[in-house]
Amino acid sequence: MKRRVGILISGRGSNMTALIDHAAQPDYPAEIALVVANRADAAGLSAAAQRGIATQVIASRDFGANRAAHEAALDAALRAAGCEFLCLAGYMRLLTPWLVQRWSGRMINIHPSLLPVFPGLDTHQRALAAGVKIHGCTVHLVTDGMDAGPILAQAAVPVLPHDNESTLAARVLVQEHLLYPAALAALITGMSVPAPAESGLVNPCISG
Ligand code: GAR
């Protein structure tokens, strides 16, 4: 039976869309039960609705500085939808220890770098400035701390001589869209999954 998964977004939602599209396949171990955005203008909301997925806006700005109340509302919505796992997909807010603890072991995030290098923002720009030759993305369990937590899966891409921020971001994003559904499936089934055939320089590594 498919496990019910919630997704939190703040913006474009391309990773959310990749998760939804994979979950639509009969043999995928999850279904997307709910997408919640913390911003009413998150573009991903319409992409989810077009795919027939339930959406909610729980706007952080409505709660002001009361992060606990915002997260209590998020948590209540996810539980009402029967979500057992939670994916952060471009959700650009730090979570409090309360929510992290409540979803411990069942909440994952995707980040556009090979963690532990380049946590935070502007990862592609920083990778170019550092002169790294390999860059990529990471799916990790969410724990306290920004872009921290045990690494579940990574995919790497080469940094090419004439790359700029947008060409590098686009190359990484292709891998994000393959890695995130693979890592979610691996977490749910407790199994490793084959590396996506379209993978780049280094095969995705999934463990745990
Ligand atoms: C993605 O590149 C994701 O890895 C990144 O935000 C982007 C969201 O795009 N997440 C982080 O930086 C988290 N620290 P999307 O909305 O199209 O999925």
8 A C-beta contact, residue 137 and residue 177: no
Q: State percent of the chain over pLDDT 70.
A: 92
What integer pLDDT is reported at residue 126 of this predicted model?
Answer: 98
Quick check: CB of 163 below 6 Å from ligand 1? no
Q: Which residue has its alpha carbon closest to ligand 1 atom 11? A: 111
> 206: which residues sit within 8 A by CB, 6+ positions away?
152, 153, 182, 183, 186, 192, 193
**In 3-state terms, what secondary structure has residue 113?**
coil
Question: With bands split at pLDDT 50, 70 and 90, how would you rate the model's confidence at 199?
Answer: very low
Quick check: CB of 112 below 6 Å from ligand 1? yes
Q: State how far the Cα of 181 lies from the Cα of 176, in Å rounded to an integer.
A: 9
- Active centre residues (catalytic): 111
Question: With bands split at pLDDT 50, 70 and 90, how would you rate the model's confidence at 108?
Answer: very high
Indicate the average pLDDT of the chain: 93
Strands 202-206, 151-158: pairing kind: antiparallel
pTM here is 0.93
What integer pLDDT is reported at residue 203 of this predicted model?
Answer: 45
Query: Which atom of ligand 1 is found nearest the CA of 146?
Result: 14
In the reported structure, the alpha carbon of residue 143 is separated from the centroid of ligand 1 by a whole-number distance in angstroms of 17
Dump pLDDT digits (tens) for 22-79.
Answer: 999 999 999 999 999 999 999 999 999 999 999 999 999 999 999 999 999 999 999 9
Query: Which atom of ligand 1 is found nearest the CA of 169?
Result: 2
182 pLDDT exceeds 90? yes
